Amino acid sequence: MPHPFTPIFDRHSHVSLYAALEGCPDLSTCGDSSQALTLMRGLPADRLSLVRGWHSGRLPLSTADLAGLPPVLLVNFSLHGLRLSPAAARLLGDTDPELVEGHTDLAWCERNLDRLLVLYGRTAGLTPAKLEAWIQGLEAVGVGAVEDLLLTGEAAWRTMRASRWADRMPWWTVPAIFDALPAEAQAECAGLKVFTDGALGARTAALDAPFLGGEPGLLLHADETLRRTLADLHARGKALAVHAIGDRAIGQALDVLEDLDRQGVRFPLVRLEHVQFITEAQARRARELGLVLSMQPNFTSDSADYADRLDRARLARNNPFRMLIDRVGFRPGRDLIFGSDGMPHGLAWAARWSLFPPFEGQRLSLDELLAGYGAAPGSLAPRELVVDGAARSVRVR
């Protein structure tokens, strides 16, 4: 059945990173490790190549496999985790010895994720041609505006502000990048972002119990460190976005924000990003504080993809939209907004998992989904979403 819609506003992606990755070697199309190695062996021997789309579970690579490669920076498909070939480690040894020493330590990678995302974007390099190609890809899947949740630097800012989409790509960044930007860029910045835990794919999201394999998850800050960090950011006068996936990380963020609120330290806007495992009690606290939940309906697919690391009860708690809307009173498009995190972009995948979720508590109506994204600004031609209930499939036409 076709449903007309105005191109959507994706409220969480990574423009300056994902657009820079356009054209980089991509292992996601490789059927096995042998194909992946063949692709990487053909890369230049005299410079560092960034390779994306690596899935450590589907394309396992041994130390011996990496030893025979040219200088390769291999990025996990989730952006959490990387590998360096020995040739790449030698190349980077003088300029970034901390990266060379720490890149095999998952905890180090999570604590330095903002730094690594900037490294990926700058290594790949954002050009006007890459950005235009990326924008055309968004338009093809029904996206008319998108927020960058981590601008990678001044060069990326200058490329984005010269784009035809300049007024449809508001951006946020991390404090270290913000402080290095010129005053004009700082004035344009929508807000500042901090991370409090890792990711499900890397088994570093801070849940209230270990993953099935025993991994404990990872809080990136001690409570007092996070409190001092947010208090320091307040002086910059910007909105705040807090990455928190697991309920343990969400609880820590709420504790700190409530404490700051009691002291009169309040931001113009606070968004909690992802909050996939928010509890009802935490949701009520967030609503009492006036926070906005910025979530990804496409991540409902994690309840099918991660049965190897989460038990059924926890899989059912992922993306609890019905609880948030029906019992706590969050309103799609107002204090409950949607983005994709680029995994993948577009309305079709989000609609497929919203209309046909693994668990009833994850369900969103099409009206709720569209309201949560909101329409992109400008006079954009309408698109059509085709829903096939029998096949449980959705596509944009």
Give a yes or no: residue 19 inside a domain. no
In this structure, the answer to whether residues 34 and 181 fall within a common structural domain is no
Q: Tell me: the pLDDT tens digits for 303-323? A: 999 999 999 999 999 999 999
Give a yes or no: residue 85 inside a domain. yes
| pLDDT for the residue 58 | 82
In this structure, the answer to whether residues 348 and 242 fall within a common structural domain is yes
Average pLDDT score over the chain? 96
| pLDDT for the residue 81 | 85
56: tokens are: 């450590």
User: Which domain-ending residue is among 124, 140, 174?
Assistant: 124
- For residue 211, what are the CA distances in angstroms to 146, 196, 206, 216, 315? 33, 18, 10, 6, 11
pLDDT category at 85 given cuts 50, 70, 90 is: very high
Q: Which residue has the higher pLDDT, 201 or 312?
A: 312
In this structure, the answer to whether residues 103 and 211 fall within a common structural domain is no
In this structure, the answer to whether residues 115 and 247 fall within a common structural domain is no
- Give me the percent of the chain exceeding a pLDDT of 90: 92
Give a yes or no: residue 264 inside a domain. yes
DSSP 343: T
Give a yes or no: residue 106 inside a domain. yes
What's the CA gap between 165 and 145, in Å, rounded?
A: 8
pLDDT category at 77 given cuts 50, 70, 90 is: confident
Give a yes or no: residue 77 inside a domain. yes
Angle, helices 247-262/280-289, rounded to nearest 10 degrees? 30
pLDDT category at 173 given cuts 50, 70, 90 is: very high
In this structure, the answer to whether residues 183 and 64 fall within a common structural domain is no
In this structure, the answer to whether residues 118 and 131 fall within a common structural domain is no
pLDDT category at 1 given cuts 50, 70, 90 is: confident
In which domain, by residue range, is 315 found?
2-14+125-396
Whether the predicted pLDDT of 35 surpasses 80: yes
| pLDDT for the residue 56 | 78
User: Which domain-ending residue is among 107, 124, 141?
Assistant: 124
Q: Tell me: the pLDDT tens digits for 230-261? A: 999 999 999 999 999 999 999 999 999 999 99
The mean pLDDT value for 274-288 works out to: 98
Scanning 75-174, the segments in alpha helix (DSSP H) are 86-92, 97-102, 106-111, 113-124, 128-140, 154-161
pLDDT category at 177 given cuts 50, 70, 90 is: very high
The mean pLDDT value for 287-299 works out to: 98
CATH number of the domain residue 111 falls in: 3.10.310
| pLDDT for the residue 242 | 98
Give a yes or no: residue 67 inside a domain. yes
Give a yes or no: residue 335 inside a domain. yes
User: Which domain-ending residue is among 124, 139, 167?
Assistant: 124
The residue ranges of DSSP E strands in 177-258, in sequence order, are: 191-195, 239-244
What's the CA gap between 394 and 392, in Å, rounded?
A: 7
In this structure, the answer to whether residues 130 and 54 fall within a common structural domain is no
What's the CA gap between 119 and 103, in Å, rounded?
A: 12
In this structure, the answer to whether residues 96 and 213 fall within a common structural domain is no
In this structure, the answer to whether residues 332 and 213 fall within a common structural domain is yes
| pLDDT for the residue 106 | 87
| Amino acid symbol at 284 | R
Give a yes or no: residue 152 inside a domain. yes
In this structure, the answer to whether residues 65 and 204 fall within a common structural domain is no
**For the CA atoms of 122, 127, 131, 137, what is the dihedral angle to 10 degrees?**
-90
Number of folded domains that form the chain: 2
In this structure, the answer to whether residues 223 and 253 fall within a common structural domain is yes
Q: Which residue has the higher pLDDT, 23 or 184?
A: 184
In this structure, the answer to whether residues 81 and 216 fall within a common structural domain is no
The mean pLDDT value for 342-369 works out to: 97
Whether the predicted pLDDT of 57 surpasses 80: no
Among 77-81, 111-115, 279-283, 386-390, whose mean pLDDT is lowest? 77-81
CATH number of the domain residue 134 falls in: 3.20.20.140
Q: Which residue has the higher pLDDT, 55 or 89?
A: 89
